[in-house]
Chain A
Amino acid sequence: MDQTINFKEVTHTYQPDTPFAQNALNQVSLTIASGSFTAIIGHTGSGKSTLVQHINALLKPTMGEIEVSGRTITPATTNKNLKQLRKHVGMVFQFPEKQLFEETVIKDVMFGPKNYGASDQEARADAKQAMALVGLDEDLQEKSPFDLSGGQMRRVAIAGVLAMKPEILILDEPTAGLDPRGHKEIMDLAEDLHEHQGMTIILVTHQMDDVVDYASDVIVMDQGKIVKHGRPQEIFADPQWVYQMHLDLPSSAEFASRLITAGVPLKSVPLTIDKLADAIVEVVQGGHGHE
C-alpha cells in the first residue's frame, strides 16, 4: 500500500487567540516518500514534534491539509473515525515507557491490537510477535512492566506500538536516556523494520551519527519551517550552515572538518567512519605518491 505522506501548506498555531498564541508550524509543504527512512532534525522548539503529531492526527492543522495513505486531514477533521489512520501510523513518543499501565507485559502489548478490535487470541499472537521483534524474552510476558529495567520497559512500549502492525512508524527520540548498547539495539531494530518489514520510518532525533548511519532522507526544521530536505550528504555538505542551525555534524564529519582546518587536504567531508578512513588513506597515500 502507498504510504506517502503529503503536507500542503500546513500551519499549526498553539493556543490561537490568546497572548500565548504561537505558530509552531508555518506553511509547511513536504512529501515523505513511501518506504523511506526519514530523519527530522532541528534544535529544540523548531517544530519537529508538532510536525510528526500531525501525521496521525493527534494535532490538526490550523490551516492547510495533510494526506496520509489516502486519508486527508484538514482543520475540520473531527476526532471521530480516526482509529484506522492511527492503526496505520504507529507513534513511539519520547520516553514511551511512561505509557505502560497494565499488570503484565503481555497485556500491555496486547492493549493496542485489542483497541483496534482484535480478539484475545489474535492480540496475543500479535503481541508475542512484536515482543520477539524487539528482542524481549518470552519469560518476561507475565512480569509486571514496572519491575523491568529502563531499557526493557522501553522495548515493551515499542512492542506495544509494533503489535498494531503499523505501516508507518514514527519514533520521537527513541534512544533518549539509553546506554550505548540500548541505543544501538533500538536503532538496529528501526533499520530492521525498515529493511525487512517495509515500514516507512520517521525518526525525530538529535543524534547526527544516527542520521547518517540509518536515514535515507533528512528534513531540517527551524522556527516551524522546513529549511532543507535532502539526502544526508547534501544536508551535511556545508558545515557552517549546519552550525548556524544550532546542529552538530556527525562525529566523522566533525573530525574531518577539524583535519581540514588543521591543513590536511581532504577532498570531501566524509559522513561515516569508513569513508573518513578512506579519505585519510587517500591523503596519506597521495602524499607518498608525489614524493
Chain B
Amino acid sequence: MSNFLFGRYLPGNSWVHQMSPQSKLMLSFYFVVVIFFANNIWTYAALSVLILMVVLMSGVSIGYFLKGIRPLIWLIIFTVLLQILFSSGGHVYWHFGPFSVSDTSLINGGFIFIRFLLIIMISTVLTLTTTPLAIADGVQTVLRPLKKVHFPVDTLALMLSIALRFVPTLMDEMETILNAQRSRGVDFGSGSLRHRIQAAVPLLVPLFTGAINHAENLSTAMEARGFTDSEHRSKYRIYRWQRKDTISWAVFLLVGVLVLFIRKS
C-alpha cells in the first residue's frame, strides 16, 4: 500500500508541526468554512496564497501533496464535469439535451476544482504534520464542552485513537493476506465484476477474523492492566496552546475577514 497517503504522518519540527493539535484541527475546520464564502477570483487567490504559505511552513515538499490528490482525482473530475455540464446562465458555447457549456459554468467548474484542492491541501497538512494520536487528543480537547451534557467524550476519543492505532496494523495484515492468497492463485483486480467480488471473500474473511482477534486481545490486555472507563484519566503528553497557535489564528482570521470584504456580494 505504498501509495496510501491518508493518515500518514511525516515527522518534522516545522512551525506547523509544533502547533497544538486542537488548534490545528479547529483551524482546518475554520478554513473549510471560509472556503465556502469564496466566490470570485480574488477570494480564491487569497486563500490559495494562504494555503501555499502553510504548505511552505510545514516543510513538506509540494510534490507530496500532489501525490495525496491523485487517488481523489476521478471524484474531482466527475464533480467538476457535473458543474460544467449542468449549471445554467451566461453565454452558452455548446448544448445538447440537458447538457450545456457556458462561460459561467466553466468558471464555476474552475472554482469547484480550486475548492477541492484547497480542502484536500489543508486536511493533508493536518494529517501529515500531526500524529494520529495527537489528532485523537485534539478531538478530545475540542469536544470537552460536550461533557456538560454527559456526552462520553473520553470514550469517544479512546475509540478514535484505538481505531487510528490499528489502521497500519490492519493494512499490514491485509497486505500479507493479499500476498498469501495471490500465492494460492487468486487474481485480485482483474476479470469480471462477479469474479472480483468472489476474489474479495478470501481476503475479507481472514481480515475480519484478525480484527476481531485483535479487539479481544486488546480488551483483555486493557482489563488486565486495570483499565476502567469511568475514572478521570491523566495524560502522558499535554498539548498546550502556544504563541505559534495565536499567531496562526490571527493570520487566518485576517484572511477570513479579507475574504468577506472582497467576495462578490
Contacts and interface: CB of A to CB of B under 8 A. Distances in A.
Contacts of B206: 98-101
A116 B187 CA distance: 10
Given A87-B185, A115-B185, A80 B190 contact: yes
Interface string A98-113: 1111000000000110
B10 A53 contact: no
A53 B179 contact: yes
Interface string A2-19: 000000000000110011
Contacts of A101: 201-202, 205-206, 209
A164 B173 CA distance: 23
B182 interface: yes
A90 B210 CA distance: 23
B179 A93 contact: yes
Interface in B1-40: 2, 10
A86 B178 CA distance: 14
A21 to B, nearest CB: 10
Contact of A111 (B173, B176, B184): B184
Interface in B41-75: 64, 67
Given A14-B2, A98-B210, A115 B184 contact: yes
Interface centre among B2, B177, B180, B210 (most CB of A within 10 A): B180
B158 to A, nearest CB: 27
A91 B185 contact: no
A204 to B, nearest CB: 14
B184 A98 contact: no
B1 to A, nearest CB: 10
B155 to A, nearest CB: 30
Contacts of A93: 176, 179-180, 183
A98 B180 contact: yes
A160 B184 contact: yes
Given A14-B2, A80-B190, A115-B186, A91 B180 contact: yes
A58 B182 contact: yes
Given A18-B64, A100-B206, A101-B206, A58 B185 contact: no
Contacts of A87: 185
A56 interface: yes
Nearest to B185: A115
Nearest to B188: A79
A146 interface: yes
A115 B180 CA distance: 13
Interface in A34-72: 53, 56, 58
Interface of A: 14-15, 18-19, 53, 56, 58, 79-80, 83, 86-87, 89-91, 93-94, 96, 98-101, 111-112, 115-116, 146, 160-161, 164
* 8 A-B pairs with the lowest CB-CB distances in the bound complex, closest first: A115-B185, A101-B205, A91-B183, A99-B180, A112-B184, A15-B2, A116-B185, A58-B179
13 contacts: A18-B67, A56-B183, A79-B187, A79-B190, A91-B180, A98-B176, A98-B206, A99-B180, A99-B184, A101-B202, A101-B205, A112-B185, A164-B185
